[in-house]
A and B are shown apart, each in its own frame.
Chain A
Amino acid sequence: MIASLIRLVTGAQARWIGCIPEARQRIYFANHASNLDGPTIWASLPDALRARTRPIAARDYWDAGPLRRRLAKDVFHAVLISRAKITAENNPMRDMEAALAEGASLILFPEGTRTVDDDAGMNPFKPGLWHLAKRHPEVQLVPVHLENLNRILPKGEILLVPLLAAVTFGEPIALGEAEDKQAFLERARAAVAALSAAADA
């Protein structure tokens, strides 16, 4: 029901242009501009996949206040990670890997934070995606591009403007045999960016 509500508010239409919605373990990685990003990708998945897919979300936002905590925990089943200083017992990778070990698919925003500027492109990707790709080669990596969510609920706003969002799922990528971290992260970022042009075509 919450998923239908999110689809109604964001008008999100899922476009699968590089793969089909399949019941296999995946990491969906996307550009990030709005707090609605995670919920929107989650809501645009078919029911069966949605039940097994968990957004990775920032603890400092989603753990603040009872409503957000409730939504993150009971509705989206989000994996909450800390963005503060990383310590041995507070390593976000551990929680993400635990979720993968349980067989869940993940929704990840490798930029780490939301893009603010209208004209700037995506921020550089953080290395988490590379670590996951290296340690879990069996998990498929699906680039996802989100359109217009930055206009529906931009960073720093609490008022929603009900425009129509688009969610585009692209062709999965895989980590090359000898590919180094920087090259892979750059390629992953380009794969998301390319969907922006594909979505317009």
Chain B
Amino acid sequence: MMGISVGIAAVGGGILVILLIASIIGAILARTARSERGRATVANLNARVRAWWLMCIVVFAAVIAGPTTTTILFALLSFLALREFITLTPTRRSDHHTLFWAFFVVVPLQYWFVAMPWFGMLSIFIPVWVFLFVSIRGTLSGDHRDYLERTAKIQWGLMICVYCVSHIPALLSLEIPGYAGRNAELVLFLVAVAQLSDVFQYVWGKLLGRRKIAPHLSPNKTWEGFIGGVATATGVGAALWWMTPFTPTVAAGMALGITLMGFAGGIVMSAIKRDAGVKDFGATIAGHGGILDRIDSLCFSAPVLFHLVRFYYTP
């Protein structure tokens, strides 16, 4: 139904060029790196670039294939992210049935509401209905040990991995006057700005990083990386205004919001990982840690962008 619009083609072309350049630089560095540490860094960089290729191809294929495919793709991502999240958070045997509901009922239902689309329900299903359900189901097992902690872990896993992520495909259903049929470009705008912000923060941090922002939570994050990354990604967002329903100034503001929320998402996820005693959520994508490590910045920015657009841009 969507097909390839000019905006999607342009962004796709841009990302293709960036990835090609990254692959070429990676190949050159792999030949020239001498020291042991240099080699390790380059190997890690190249693994990241390969994972980027894979993720970009999958996301573009889904966006081009249409809203239904995109929604299914994100439902799958939610499922896998939840799997990583719950694996790392200790639950008890008595949570088994609640977890079964979470994976096989909550995830499909939430994405069903997204596909319909039923905005009222997708906004409250998990925070109201599922929050209550999880707490009730948890009591049925009769196990009261760590009750509040166990319940909160499952509720937060669903909140981050399912509720937040589902707002990305939900953007496809917003009826924005004068923007009909182009919503996929808004999804690409969000994904591109959030992910580029991660990349720019990594690059600026590697180049200039000195002062650590949160040494206890995320030792690799520095003020230099943060400011450089946010500024660059905001600039890129403003430059991409033509693919959004926004003016260039609003696009810059939205991009700033996306990058700040993305940064906050990364810090929150680091806190959760530190609490569980691990560095990465899994090893599903080579070089990237888990899926959750990749989409943590999207988790927090997607609902914010969704509600801002819904509030200000839909009748």
Listed in ascending order, the chain A residues whose CB lies under 8 Å from chain B are 11, 13, 116, 118, 148, 150-151, 154, 157, 159-164, 200
Contacts and interface: CB of A to CB of B under 8 A. Distances in A.
A190 B283 CA distance: 28
Given A13-B283, A200-B277, A164 B93 contact: no
B103 to A, nearest CB: 6
A4 to B, nearest CB: 16
Contact of B96 (A13, A148, A161, A200): A161
Given A11-B83, A13-B283, A163-B83, A154 B277 contact: no
Interface string B64-94: 0000000000000001000110110001110
Interface centre among B86, B87, B99, B100 (most CB of A within 10 A): B87
Contact of A148 (B87, B100, B282): B87
A146 B20 CA distance: 41
B97 interface: yes
Given A13-B283, A159-B97, A118 B83 contact: no
B93 A154 contact: yes
B292 to A, nearest CB: 12
A164 B92 contact: no
Contacts of B96: 151, 154, 157, 159, 161
15 contacts: A11-B83, A11-B87, A116-B93, A118-B92, A150-B93, A151-B93, A154-B96, A161-B96, A161-B100, A161-B103, A162-B83, A162-B103, A163-B86, A163-B87, A164-B87
Contacts of B86: 161, 163
B262 to A, nearest CB: 25
B103 A164 contact: no
A128 B277 CA distance: 37
- What is the predominant secondary structure among interface residues of chain A facing chain B? loop
A46 B272 CA distance: 34
A11 B83 CA distance: 9
The 9 tightest CB contacts between A and B, nearest first, are A164-B87, A161-B99, A163-B87, A159-B100, A118-B93, A118-B92, A154-B93, A161-B100, A162-B83
Interface of B: 79, 83-84, 86-87, 91-93, 96-97, 99-100, 103, 277, 282-283
A162 B97 CA distance: 12
A161 B100 CA distance: 5
Contacts of A164: 83-84, 87, 282
Given A11-B83, A151-B91, A164-B84, 5 more contacts: A116-B93, A161-B103, A162-B83, A163-B86, A200-B277
B89 to A, nearest CB: 10
A104 B96 CA distance: 36
A200 B99 CA distance: 23
B291 to A, nearest CB: 11
B264 to A, nearest CB: 26
Contacts of B91: 151
Interface centre among A13, A148, A151 (most CB of B within 10 A): A151
Contacts of B282: 164
Contacts of A162: 79, 83, 103
Contacts of B99: 161
Nearest to B94: A118
Contacts of B92: 118
A160 B83 CA distance: 12
Interface centre among B92, B97, B99 (most CB of A within 10 A): B99
Nearest to A13: B283
Contacts of B83: 11, 162-164
Nearest to B84: A164
A159 to B, nearest CB: 5
A76 B249 CA distance: 63
A161 B91 CA distance: 12
A73 B84 CA distance: 33
Nearest to A160: B100
Interface centre among B83, B96, B97, B99 (most CB of A within 10 A): B96
A161 B295 CA distance: 22
Contacts of A118: 92-93
Contacts of A157: 96
A159 B104 CA distance: 10
A165 to B, nearest CB: 9
B150 to A, nearest CB: 11
A163 B97 CA distance: 13
B206 to A, nearest CB: 28
